[in-house]
């Protein structure tokens, strides 16, 4: 483990902490806003923030926070979500009545609840937080859905593994740092595997064909788009912000030329960074 301090949202044992452990010493935070503030105020060298899940889609609040804070993307990493059913030693599915977890985790385990009608879902603020609550309350009638690591940290038994409905349940995390005082991530052993990506946000004039023109700046230069998503632009009603991920580095000539062309007619362009992958 490096000496880097890595902020994340959640309790120890959260999937975000698993991502943070790949980079350095985890610093738990109670909210995503606190995570961004920890980077902005230099209390953390980096932070890991979940951006999208292969089943649940994008986490829109974090896309908004990227624009609101002076941060840049330094890396990305992927965590496979493997939900476990956890309980106090001696607990069982037969004696339990309620299962606690984050609402998204509960939604990812519909098949399990369908085959166990005696178990009722109860939303909690965090997957690992639900495990922590059960450990503190010492109530065998409650179970939690969280990571295997959460069970180990809070002394809970694993009653079932791989509860999620789909095998391909993966969360993509951005590793962010201060844009004006960036930390150094190159010394992390598994950093930089695979191709570089560049993430961009832009707004366009409300004119016919403006989005076509924006995408053409990249298509004409054979730049591969891996993601495009629109979000309401908070500064003006019924106008939209576009988030785009492309293969390549911002210093590559095709991307440089595409950005220069885009800036000629876009009303705003923000490059969040070019980055590699931190492997498990």
* Pair type for strands 142-146 and 98-101: parallel
CA distance linking residue 179 with residue 200, whole number of Å: 14
How many Å apart are CA 62 and CA 104, to the nearest integer?
16
Of the residues 36, 46, 112, 173, only one is catalytic, namely 173
Strand, helix or coil at 269?
strand
Q: How far is CA 94 from the centre of its chain?
A: 35
Q: Which of 5, 77, 127, 171 is catalytic?
A: 171
Tokens representing 171 are 């969360």
- To the query of whether residue 265 is one of the catalytic residues in this protein, the response is no
**Cβ contacts of 232 within 8 Å, gap of 6 or more:** 238, 239, 240, 241
**138 neighbors 155 (Cβ within 8 angstroms):** no
* Cα separation, 218 vs 79, whole angstroms: 30
Q: What six digits make up the tokens of 61?
A: 């609040």
> In terms of Cα–Cα distance, which of 19, 12, 6, 1 is closest to 277?
19
For residue 86, report the phi and psi dihedrals to the nearest 5 degrees.
-115, 145
Task: List own/partner pairs for 53-60 with CB under 8 A and 24 or more apart.
Answer: 53/81, 53/104, 53/169, 53/170, 53/171, 53/172, 54/166, 54/168, 54/169, 54/170, 54/171, 55/108, 55/164, 55/165, 55/166, 55/168, 55/169, 56/104, 56/107, 56/108, 58/229, 60/231
Active-site residue 238, yes or no? no
Residues designated as active site: 171, 173
């Amino acid at each position: 483990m490096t000496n880097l301090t890595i902020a994340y949202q959640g309790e120890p044992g959260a999937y975000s902490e698993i991502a943070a452990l790949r980079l350095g010493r985890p610093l738990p935070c109670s909210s995503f806003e606190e995570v961004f503030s920890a980077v902005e105020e230099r209390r953390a060298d980096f932070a890991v923030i979940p951006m999208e899940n292969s089943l649940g889609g994008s986490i829109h609040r974090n896309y908004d926070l990227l624009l609101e804070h002076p941060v840049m993307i330094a890396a990305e990493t992927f965590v496979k979500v493997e939900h476990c059913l956890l309980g106090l030693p001696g607990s069982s599915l037969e004696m339990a009545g309620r299962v606690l977890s984050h609402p998204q985790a509960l939604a990812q385990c519909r098949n399990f609840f369908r085959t166990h009608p005696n178990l009722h879902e109860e939303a909690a603020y965090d997957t690992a937080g639900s495990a922590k609550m059960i450990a503190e309350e010492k109530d065998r009638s409650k179970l939690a859905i969280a990571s295997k690591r959460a069970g180990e940290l809070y002394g809970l038994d694993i009653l079932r593994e791989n509860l999620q409905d789909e095998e391909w349940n993966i969360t993509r995390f951005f590793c962010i740092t201060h844009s004006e005082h960036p930390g150094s991530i190159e010394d992390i052993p598994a950093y930089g595997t695979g191709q570089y990506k560049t993430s961009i946000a832009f707004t366009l004039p409300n004119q016919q064909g403006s989005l076509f023109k924006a995408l053409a700046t990249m298509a004409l230069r054979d730049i591969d788009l891996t993601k495009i998503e629109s979000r309401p632009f908070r500064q003006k009603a019924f106008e939209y912000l576009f988030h785009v991920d492309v293969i390549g580095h911002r210093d590559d000539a095709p991307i440089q030329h595409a950005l220069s062309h885009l800036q000629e007619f876009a009303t705003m362009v923000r490059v969040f960074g070019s980055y590699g992958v931190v492997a498990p």
